[in-house]
Amino acid sequence: MSRKVYIETVGCQMNVLDSEVVIGTLRRQGYTLADSPAQADVILFNTCSVREHAEDKIYSALGRLRSLKRHNPQAVIGVLGCMAQKDQHRIAERAPHVDLIVGPGQLAEVPRLIEEARSSRRLQMAVSLGRAEAGRAEVEASFVSFDPVRDPTMRPTPFQAYVRIQIGCDKFCTYCVVPSTRGPEQSRPPAHILAEARQLVEQGCKEITLLGQTVNSYRFQHGDGRVTRLSDLLAALHDLPGLERLKFVTNFPKDMTDDLLDAVRSLPKVVKYLHVPAQSGCDLVLQRMKRNYTVAFYTDMLARCREKVPGVAISSDFIVGFCGESEESFARTVRLVEQARFKNSYIFKYSERPGTKAAQRYADDVPEEVKKRRNNDLLAVQTEISRQEHRRWIGQRVSILVEGPSKRDQNRFAAASPSDTLQLTGRTMTDHIVVCDGSPRLIGQIIDVDIIDASPFTLFGVVSSAASCDSAGLAGLPEAAAFPRRVPLPVL
């Protein structure tokens, strides 16, 4: 009888990828996926430390498992990822029923540690070295990029996949724990990335998203002195037969080079979309955040992106309520959003993270109710801009990769026949979300859709007559039938 594993993923795309490769490895050892902790022999939480809310969610989940552990002492409970790296001993103190604590640089050890925990009934801990515990080379060696086995059933869709091209971060923004939890910035060898991408395309993947904490910082130094940049990597991946779309996230403003923008413009498979977090529209706040650029630099960078890549869609991130943010500072952020007219923005309230420079240097002096108001106010500004920008698409024909049924029709999908009509969802070459009605056979295909309406978050369309008539071979159904499990997006 095979053992069952349950995994819950919280956080970023990097965590989604980490969960996929961990589960892929365990499945090769005979594990099957469980739908709930109660059904599982091994229960894993892949965690995030960027915001306090994400950590609270994990501690609450661990608390609910105390009674399960009492009734089933053979169950193995593990905490993986950034929270495990940052809060190693705190987790053990708050949740003594946890069996594994494994940082993001040690995920290859998970199968072995599960067996060790099961046989010894003692806590198994595997974490990387802290940045101050050794020299850079030694610390780098303790963070291992773990990308050996890809499991299509663990992806949000079987047609799309993430590929890690870089681990760690050297930006040291004062609010951020990532340089501590994921270690020094290291770029993976291009040959490894290309081999992994080929494997994914052979599995039926049509769209690959390249991941890095600051993905456009990617630079691999070869032994012979050659340097591979992100633009070079995009050009090499672009020629893979069967690959139809290439994306990359997340970008750092100061590393948005002309050669990269030229590649985005000139390579047809590269999506014309850039996610470039600004974080604030006030120079004083950016200085406290140690972002190492000014608002003027950021706006000039935006202008260069739009000049180099006509029609490019750009999104951003903002933190409101950072230490010392005044009403005037916040007003400057609002003005930046109004002027930049981002496709969308991800807006977060500042959450003080223990161990960061901000927590050591600055008082978290913006009241919670002020943070909430500023969050809502900035979100309202961005929502109106998104609504206006989305309305411009009405009457246009766009090309989308159909990802699957929309949330409304997910429950109908499993029992749907090729002749049924479902509400489908996909994304354009500028990463806009499109909803349209169509046959399940369209899932996994790139089709043309005529946009007839728009909301601040979604474009609504009608499948063009050519796409609706193209039903040969029931494209998409074999993969959908083979991989019925739809992995939810991570909780942020």
Q: Is residue 489 part of a domain?
A: no
Q: 252 with 163, same domain?
A: yes
Residue 1's Cβ-count burial label (10 Å; 0-12, 13-18, 19+) is: exposed
Q: 331 with 478, same domain?
A: no
Distance CA(65)–CA(95), nearest Å, equals 9
Q: What is the mean pLDDT of residues 113-127?
A: 93
107-121, 194-208, 315-329, 464-478: which has the minimum mean pLDDT? Answer: 464-478
Binding residue numbers for [4Fe-4S] cluster: 12, 48, 82, 169, 173, 176
Amino acid in position 15: N
Q: 51 with 71, same domain?
A: yes
Q: 251 with 353, same domain?
A: yes
- Looking at the predicted structure, is the pLDDT value of residue 147 above 70? no
Q: 309 with 251, same domain?
A: yes
Task: Mark which of 86, 108, 134 sits at the end of a domain.
Answer: 134
Domain count, the chain: 3
Task: Mark which of 372, 390, 408 sits at the end of a domain.
Answer: 390
CATH number at residue 147: 3.80.30.20
Binding residue numbers: 12, 48, 82, 169, 173, 176
Q: 119 with 154, same domain?
A: no
Q: 223 with 117, same domain?
A: no
Q: 56 with 151, same domain?
A: no
When pLDDT is cut at 50, 70 and 90, the band that residue 150 belongs to is: confident
Span 231-241, pLDDT tens digits: 999 999 999 99
pTM for this prediction: 0.89
CATH number at residue 408: 2.40.50.140
When pLDDT is cut at 50, 70 and 90, the band that residue 143 belongs to is: confident
CATH number at residue 47: 3.40.50.12160
Q: What is the mean pLDDT of residues 374-389?
A: 98
Task: Name every residue whose Cβ is closer than 8 Å to that of residue 178 and which is 6 or more positions away in sequence.
Answer: 50, 82, 168, 169, 213
Residues of the domain holding 52: 4-134
DSSP secondary structure string, 252-304? -GGG--HHHHHHHHH-TTB-SEEE---B-S-HHHHHHHT----HHHHHHHHHH
Q: What is the mean pLDDT of residues 268-278?
A: 98
- Looking at the predicted structure, is the pLDDT value of residue 470 above 60? no
Q: Are 85 and 64 in contact (CB under 8 A)?
A: no
Q: 304 with 338, same domain?
A: yes
Q: 230 with 365, same domain?
A: yes
Amino acid 272: pLDDT: 98
38-52, 255-269, 375-389: which has the minimum mean pLDDT? Answer: 38-52
Span 170-191, pLDDT tens digits: 999 999 999 999 999 999 999 9
Q: Is residue 487 part of a domain?
A: no
Query: What is the signed CA dihedral for 386, 388, 392, 393, rounded to 10 degrees?
Result: 40
When pLDDT is cut at 50, 70 and 90, the band that residue 155 belongs to is: confident
Task: Mark which of 87, 108, 134 sits at the end of a domain.
Answer: 134
Q: 87 with 229, same domain?
A: no
Q: 130 with 266, same domain?
A: no
